[in-house]
Amino acid sequence: MSVQGSLDQQWARVRGRLKDEVGETAYRSWLKPLTVADFEGGQVRIVVPTRFMRDWIRTHYADRIKALWSGENPGVQSVEIVVAAPSRVAEPVGAPAIVANDSPPPRHEPEPEPLPVSHHGGSEDRADELTAPLDPRFTFENFVVGKPNELAFAAARRVADASSVTFNPLFLYGGVGLGKTHLMHAIAWHIRKKDPPRRVIYLSAEKFMYQFIRALRFKDTMAFKEQFRSVDVLMIDDVQFISGKDSTQEEFFHTFNALVDQNRQVIISADKSPSDLEGMEERLRSRLGWGLVADIHPTTYELRLGILQQKADRIGAKIPPKVLEFLAHKITSNVRELEGALNRIVAHAELVGRAITLESAQDVLHDLLRASNRRVTIEEIQKKVAEHFNIRLADMSSARRARAVARPRQVAMYLAKQLTQRSLPEIGRKFGDRDHTTVMHAVRKVEELCGSDPAFAEDVELLRRMLEG
């Protein structure tokens, strides 16, 4: 009895692990009905109600059960699946919802590859299991629109409002923390509210990959594809993570094509434009760029300030405009950090029960500000920028005004302003004794160009990252 007792406990743990791996629905259909009969001579015998289930479990889950079980108990050398009674036609116990393709009707003889069952309710389960939770704050209402993100915002709105497919795919791209995920969630919220029957799936490319690899392991790629069949809108976030993984890429490509062919809306995000996605197959790259490609540019001061104001209003915090301006000025890397800084200031003020001032803000963010001015020197900036644009370092301080050297010089001034603590006059001095108004002009010019010229914005962003990293 005690052996059986501990056997049952082991089985409970194995089942728990399996459930985590295969998900609730597959678990309910396939694994829950299993019972453990006995353990003898290193072999565990598991009983299933039907022959069909026996075969299915053998091909799909037995190896995994064995592996998990020997992890629990090294004495377990094999797992045998047996049918309880003479094979009667019976519904698997505890599997009321026959789900898409990983549970074909048990009445049929087993087939090498199971046939998909078009059972809408069923695949809904699967889909809802697949989709990642949505952040309630990530709505269109909470998204502040400015020059750098107006195209992406307009495209997202359009897709969310349209009842038929507009641009397919919509490809959103931009640096870290600039609002890609926010916009995707906003689309999903909007559709859910406006048109609940439309099926929206949002998931990260990592999760997509994970699901697919799991399907491969359980030899269940048909079920994997089936999950996406009844989807109206599919969003995959951060597809740069798919690059390099050959089979996943292939699968992604097929899923993608199938959905686009069926006129389903696909929305993709990445940190680069389709053509710049390295490690991605050419045909996939070009396919991704077929619809509308909308980029989100690095934030401008105005946008940062707008976001801070909105956020402060939303949390009902009284923050002097000076403090918001200071933050918008100092924290330029991305919106996520900007929000983080604001939260910290507010939390601190509440904690110590004092009003927020410029001094307290500087104090609280002391480490963060130092990190964002991470020891980068103006000399380093000049050197990197000169290399990048292929001009002589001496031209950073020379009097030459040709565009080919003047523009890189402006970029270097801009970066010096962003990445160091130096004042405008100090920066000016380092650039061949130029006036502080020249530096100010350079900063404005570069911000303006970042807003109007995506390639230029990318250059600047790239340089910034190189210098910061």
Footprint of ligand ADP (CB under 6 A): 138, 142-144, 149, 174, 176-182, 307, 335-336, 339
Within 10 A of 89 (CB to CB), how many other CB atoms are there?
9
State the nearest-atom distance from the C-beta of 138 to ligand ADP, in Å: 6
**CA-to-CA distance for 196 and 105, rounded, in angstroms?**
29
**CA-to-CA distance for 239 and 271, rounded, in angstroms?**
8
State the nearest-atom distance from the C-beta of 238 to ligand ADP, in Å: 7
Q: In Å, how far from its chain's centre is CA 443?
A: 32
Please identify, using beta-carbon distances, which residue of 54 and 180 lies nearer to ligand ADP.
180
Residues with Cβ < 8 Å from 178, sequence gap 6 or more? 148, 149, 296, 297, 298, 299, 334, 335
122 binds, among ligand ADP, Mg ion, none (CB under 5 to 8 A by kind): none
State the nearest-atom distance from the C-beta of 206 to Mg ion, in Å: 11
Please identify, using beta-carbon distances, which residue of 270 and 381 lies nearer to ligand ADP.
270
Please identify, using beta-carbon distances, which residue of 101 and 243 lies nearer to ligand ADP.
243
Whether the link from the prior residue into 169 is cis, omega within 30° of 0, is yes
176 binds, among Mg ion, ligand ADP, none (CB under 5 to 8 A by kind): ligand ADP
Q: Which two tokens stand for residue 175?
A: 């640096």
Residues with Cβ < 8 Å from 448, sequence gap 6 or more? none
336 binds, among Mg ion, ligand ADP, none (CB under 5 to 8 A by kind): ligand ADP
State the nearest-atom distance from the C-beta of 176 to Mg ion, in Å: 8
Give exposure, 226-258, as e/b (b: 16+ Cβ within 10 Å): bbbbbbbbbbbbbbbbbbebeebbebbbebbee
**CA-to-CA distance for 182 and 190, rounded, in angstroms?**
12
Is residue 270 within 8 A of residue 223, CB to CB? The reply is: no
Is residue 123 within 8 A of residue 230, CB to CB? The reply is: yes
Residues 67-96 that bind Mg ion (CB under 5 A): none
State the nearest-atom distance from the C-beta of 299 to ligand ADP, in Å: 8
Please identify, using beta-carbon distances, which residue of 180 and 311 lies nearer to Mg ion.
180
Please identify, using beta-carbon distances, which residue of 181 and 420 lies nearer to Mg ion.
181
Please identify, using beta-carbon distances, which residue of 123 and 299 lies nearer to ligand ADP.
299
User: Applying CB under 5 A, does 211 fall inside the site for Mg ion?
Assistant: no
Please identify, using beta-carbon distances, which residue of 54 and 311 lies nearer to ligand ADP.
311
What type of residue sits at position 409? R
294 binds, among Mg ion, ligand ADP, none (CB under 5 to 8 A by kind): none
Q: Which two tokens stand for residue 67?
A: 């592996």
Residues 145-184 that bind Mg ion (CB under 5 A): 180-181
Question: Could you list the residues that contact Mg ion (CB under 5 A)?
Answer: 180-181
